[in-house]
Amino acid sequence: MCGICGVLNLRDSAAPVEQRALHAMADVLRHRGPDSEGTYISDDCGVGLGFRRLSIVDLATGDQPMPNEDESLWLVFNGEIYNHAAHRPGLEARGHRFRSHCDAEVILHLYEELGPDCIHELRGMFALALWDSRRRQLLLARDRIGVKPLYFARTSDALIFGSEIKALFEYPGLEPRLNEPALSLFLTFAATPAPQTLFEGIQKLPPGHRLIVDADTGQQRLERYWQPLPDPDERATRRQPEEYVERLEAFVRESIGLRMMSDVPYGAFLSGGVDSSLNVALMAELADRPVSTFSVAIDGDPNSDELRFARSVAERYGTRHHEVTIGEQDFLDYLPELVWHQDEPLADPVCVPLHAISEAARASGTRVIQVGEGADELFSGYTSYAFFTDFYRRVWRPYSLLPRPLRQVASNALGPWLPLDRADVLARAGDGGELFWGGAVPFYDGYKRRLLGSDDAMGRQAVAALYADVDGNVPGASQLDRMIGIELRQRLPELLLMRVDKVTMGSSLEARVPYLDHKLVEFALAMPAEVKYRDGVTKWVLKRVAERVGVSRELIYRPKRGFCGSATNMLSPRLLDRAELDIFDSSFARERFDLGFVRRLLSEQRSGKGDHNYRLWTLWNLVAWHACWFEGARTRMQEPSLA
């Protein structure tokens, strides 16, 4: 796992890239790769590549930037290719010669065979940049699911890219500017949808996409090479429910086994829920050494404390178990550092306990961690999925069959008398909109209208585009599968996976996501909805896999909790006071938000008349981000000092 960056000169393609600028871009990524650094600057064309390495596989060799045999290709790569060893024999048989045992070199030789289509052969997580001096083109690519980030910007004379936005701002003349239109989308989704960011002129490469840039003409071509769709053969085959369980167990075993590829100590985050417990059970079965596990809770908060469940799993499977407890002060202490590491605000208070547990893992000597992200989205694990599925069938669908004018009359008549969240639902039903916008929406239209003092259609349009993409590619999908489809296109890659990447890499820790192997994803999407949500049981098929593996039934079928509870229980009265102070002291908030409405949210939260924790955390995170990047509060965080 690493940090990558680079520059491609476009106005004067023969002008060399400045070494000082490239080094500064790489240096600000040191937390992503504290073990070594490297740069490549071409002598005869304006391309430069920068690299920071976190050594995981092939510790002795494998430094980057890495060339092919004749140095016509140069690569910087962030991630892991889990099937790299399987490609080696065939490549060697075709005459390719390897100088290392690392996975990055396989990419170079595959590119020599297939060009940019080599991406299809990679199984893993990655963000990469490959300079082809013969074709005089730069290839940028992001993995299928979006586990690893990659950002880029186009100036008047160059294309600049990096693993984090802060690396781009080390390039001379590129300064942070607020992307005002993206602010509305952030308030809807708690993270900006790709390719936008909250910085004007800075784009993120969408998951499953590649960007090819011609150095001579400056033309760039953005191509989608993969999207989350059901495996067609699996979808055409109808199986009995237990057959899906058997097939899924095989996929999960394979995926977890592949992600145990490491030359350094590895472990797992263990919440005591189904996903992490199944992961640990199979890791313990497959490992050649004890697995390290890490759990976290919030001091004094019974909603967040699952330590006893995690402890029972750790004892059962003989792990080296570590526990962390955090308190109010940790939220206050960690927030400035998290804002800096995240680049964009990620409106999820889970980032705070995730930071604490990442620091504990790294302090223990662990460098690779497996996490359970994606299982709830793929297999319908959230109770909200069950609610929205049932509500859609019983209420929403029948109501939507009424004439639209009648629905709009009902919305106009009843809306003013309903709480804002219910009025929002009624308005969407009246307009023919969508019931479900995602698993974490801080501000639906009614709340956003009150907050901003104006209405816009950006959130509605973005949601409609997500559903159109799903419906156009999977005609006739069930409502549950449509909901899962939009989650895989927005919330999962741009909020949940970026939360994992930015926070763990901030502690120089590599996180792997076995439930999001693309072959497993394609199989899961081909499963019928009734084996995911069955007989009132969410995530039924994965829970049956956990039973087969031997995880206790008491743990499997206990009521679901989010990581450390949920966003609704993380803001104590003291933290609410601090959030209020920071929001009302912010010139950014005073200029854009109706602070009277914010006072109402705070009042209802304190009195128990409403649950606005997530909305208030979103606003607090947003003003802290603005202070960091636009009001002079940005400071270089202390980077890890590692032996």
Q: What is the pLDDT of residues 418-463, one digit of tens each?
A: 888 888 889 888 888 899 999 889 999 889 999 998 888 899 999 9
Q: Does position 506 have pLDDT exceeding 80, yes or no?
A: yes
Looking at residue 457, its pLDDT comes to 85
Q: 212 near 220, Cβ under 8 Å?
A: yes
120/110 Cα distance (integer angstroms): 10
Percent of the chain with pLDDT over 70: 94
Strand ranges, E, within 136-247: 137-142, 151-154, 158-162, 202-204, 209-214, 220-224
Residue 162 structure tokens: 């990096």
Q: Does position 343 have pLDDT exceeding 70, yes or no?
A: yes
281/514 Cα distance (integer angstroms): 13
Tell me which of 1-5, 24-28, 164-168 is least confident. 1-5
Residue 578 — pLDDT band, cuts 50, 70, 90?
Answer: very high
Nearest in space to 319 (alpha carbons), one of 363, 359, 282? 282
498/87 Cα distance (integer angstroms): 29
Instruction: Report the chain's mean pLDDT, rounded to a whole number.
Output: 90
Mean pLDDT over residues 398-419, rounded? Answer: 88
Q: CA angle, corner 377, sides to 359 and 232, nearest 5? A: 130
Mean pLDDT over residues 25-44, rounded? Answer: 90
Q: Does position 640 have pLDDT exceeding 50, yes or no?
A: no
Would you tell me how many other CB atoms lie within 10 Å of the CB of residue 473? 13
Q: What is the pLDDT of residues 119-154, one digit of tens each?
A: 999 999 999 999 999 999 999 999 999 999 999 999
Would you tell me how many other CB atoms lie within 10 Å of the CB of residue 286? 12
Residue 641 — pLDDT band, cuts 50, 70, 90?
Answer: very low
Count Cβ atoms within 10 A of the Cβ of residue 552 and give its class: 0-12 exposed, 13-18 middle, 19 or more buried: middle
Would you tell me how many other CB atoms lie within 10 Å of the CB of residue 568? 15
Q: Does position 638 have pLDDT exceeding 60, yes or no?
A: no
In what order do the strands lie in the sheet containing 124-132?
66-67, 73-81, 124-132, 137-142, 209-214, 220-224
In SS3 terms, 578-642 reads as HHHHHHHHCHHHHHHCCHHHHHHHHHHHHHCCCCCHHHHHHHHHHHHHHHHHHCCCCCCCCCCCC
Q: What is the pLDDT of residues 374-406, one digit of tens each?
A: 999 999 988 889 899 999 999 999 999 999 999
Looking at residue 639, its pLDDT comes to 45
Ramachandran region, residue 448 (left: φ > 0; alpha: ψ -120 to 50; beta: rest): alpha
How far is the CA of 156 from the CAs of 50, 138, 175, in angstroms?
21, 17, 14
3-state secondary structure of 252: helix
Task: For 268, list phi and psi in degrees, rounded to 5.
Answer: -150, 145
169/176 Cα distance (integer angstroms): 7
3-state secondary structure of 153: strand
Nearest in space to 348 (alpha carbons), one of 598, 628, 626, 617? 617
Q: Does position 80 have pLDDT exceeding 80, yes or no?
A: yes
In SS3 terms, 174-196 reads as CCCCECHHHHHHHHHHCCCCCCC
Confirm whether 2 is a catalytic residue: yes
Residue 39 — pLDDT band, cuts 50, 70, 90?
Answer: very high
- Top mean pLDDT of 90-104, 293-307, 475-489 is at 475-489
How far is the CA of 619 from the CAs of 245, 420, 448, 490, in angstroms?
42, 18, 12, 20
Q: Does position 643 have pLDDT exceeding 50, yes or no?
A: no
Nearest in space to 491 (alpha carbons), one of 402, 384, 572, 411? 384
Looking at residue 328, its pLDDT comes to 87
Residues ≥6 apart with Cβ < 8 Å to 430: 404, 407, 408, 410, 411, 412
264/262 Cα distance (integer angstroms): 5
Task: For 6, list phi and psi in degrees, rounded to 5.
Answer: 180, 170
Pseudo-torsion of CA 110, 116, 118, 124, nearest 10°? Answer: 120
Count Cβ atoms within 10 A of the Cβ of residue 95 and give its class: 0-12 exposed, 13-18 middle, 19 or more buried: exposed
Mean pLDDT over residues 630-634, rounded? Answer: 75
Marked catalytic residue, from 2, 45, 118, 628:
2
230/236 Cα distance (integer angstroms): 10
Q: Which amino acid is at 445?
A: D
Would you tell me how many other CB atoms lie within 10 Å of the CB of residue 239? 14
Q: Does position 101 have pLDDT exceeding 70, yes or no?
A: yes
Show the DSSP H helices in 47-206 as ranges: 84-93, 104-114, 165-168, 180-189
Q: Does position 495 have pLDDT exceeding 60, yes or no?
A: yes
**Domains of the chain (ranges plus CATH)?**
2-224 (3.60.20.10), 232-380+489-555 (3.40.50.620), 385-472 (no CATH), 573-630 (no CATH)
Mean pLDDT over residues 462-482, rounded? Answer: 95
Mean pLDDT over residues 366-377, rounded? Answer: 93
Mean pLDDT over residues 411-415, rounded? Answer: 86
Strand pairing class (266-269; 292-298): parallel
Task: For 41, list phi and psi in degrees, rounded to 5.
Answer: -130, 125
616/156 Cα distance (integer angstroms): 39
Q: ω into residue 65 within 30 of 0, thus cis?
A: yes
Q: Which amino acid is at 249?
A: E
Residues in the chain: 643
Q: Does position 81 have pLDDT exceeding 90, yes or no?
A: yes
Looking at residue 585, its pLDDT comes to 95
Q: What is the pLDDT of residues 261-278, one digit of tens each?
A: 766 678 999 988 899 999
Mean pLDDT over residues 221-243, rounded? Answer: 94
Q: 3 near 165, Cβ under 8 Å?
A: no
Note the pTM of the prediction, 2 decimals. 0.94
